[in-house]
Amino acid sequence: MSDPNPEHWLRLTRMYERAPCNAHVRPQMTIGHGTAELRIPVRPEFFHAAGAVHGSYYFKALDDAAFFAANSLVEDVFLLTASFTTQLLRPVAGGTLVARGSVVRAGRALIFADAVLADEAGVELAHGTGVFARSAVKLEERIGYR
């Protein structure tokens, strides 16, 4: 695992922002050493039929925050989510989703990270726990890293 490297974190942030799956969601990511924070302004197109944000957006926010907290420690390869568990606590229908991820344990093969999703007032909406594994995909320009 690497020492703190702000340039690596900025590259990961740019890679995240350019990912096609984020065009619709328009998230903002900040990455640090073993941490990541994600902000997503809630929009009506995220709602299910009952008028609140669909759980898939909760999952995305939690997984992304935990994943990038984990990948902040690995500079040579892209990580993969091996498993991710979520607990949905309460609905939300406005404001900004704020997901904060942090590494719990970093081993050679696997990294464990947790994430908490809250509204902008700090009311917890969901929790997530992920296991992330090193892939064979190098962090390089072809995946938008540079």
How many helices and strands in the chain, by DSSP H and E?
2, 6
Which fold does the domain 6-143 belong to in CATH? Thiol Ester Dehydrase; Chain A (3.10.129)
Alpha carbon distance 16, 145 (integer Å): 9
Instruction: Say if CB 86 and CB 128 are below 8 A apart.
Output: yes
- pLDDT band, very low/low/confident/very high, at 142 (cuts 50, 70, 90): confident
The full set of domain ranges for the chain reads 6-143
pLDDT tens-digit readout, 5-25: 999 999 999 999 999 999 999
Kindly report the pTM of this predicted structure.
0.95
Query: pLDDT of 55-88, one tens digit each?
Result: 999 999 999 999 999 999 999 999 999 999 999 9
